[in-house]
Structure 1
Amino acid sequence: MQKVYYLQTCDTCRRILKEINLAGFEKQEIKANPISVKQLEELHQLSKSYEALFNKRAKLYKSMDLKNQDLTETDYRQYLLDEYTFLKRPVFVVDDTIFIGNSPKEIELLKAKLGQ
């Protein structure tokens, strides 16, 4: 399976999607088509952590003052389901490997996996 979860309005996501050959990828724009419980569970199985999928740079994270709260994996899961902006993006799933976020290192690992 090859899939990417992204946000169309995010400049960084758009830039990365242009860099990657997306032939054969299923694309899911998370604002128009929010992530389902089943999809989140699949991502969790690959990442082993809801916190790894959680975007701590989201404006809502700061405005809700979540950084000063002691969040559990259950809390992260619920916030990810409640609000699309909390998903660290883009998220690429290539076979049984997950690539989370937009760090240069993560994108290079993705490109290496895809042979690009």
Structure 2
Amino acid sequence: MAVQKFEDLLVWQKSQDLAVSIYTMFKDNNDFSFRDQIRRASISISNNIAEGFDRNSNADFARFLYIALSSNSEVRSMLYISIRLNFISKQQADELIEKTNEVSKMLHGLIKSIKN
């Protein structure tokens, strides 16, 4: 049975979980520019999955999935910077980086499946 709504996509659910984790991890960060950017990027992942899902073609959906993938990479890059700036510990960052890697693999798989 085909997925009927974006909420049923596991990658959308995992990206929502990632965004909540990012919001929680950086809620007390006083570098407001950094905090807002990583939060916006994390939310962009699930939002682009949702927006693309209801497009009229697989090509449009894939385009939005690539945007979600880019936002996911932005979050991962910012997590590496957050270690160097001592915003969070390496262990905390590693846990979040692992979540971004999981989302990335899922997005690549979904892109591949809708292109075939």
Report TM bin, short chain: under 0.3
Q: TM-score, normalised by structure 2?
A: 0.28
Which one has the largest radius of gyration?
2
Q: TM-score, normalised by structure 1?
A: 0.28
Indicate the structure with greater strand content.
1
Greater RCO structure (CA 8 Å; 6+ sep): 1
Indicate the structure with greater helix content.
2
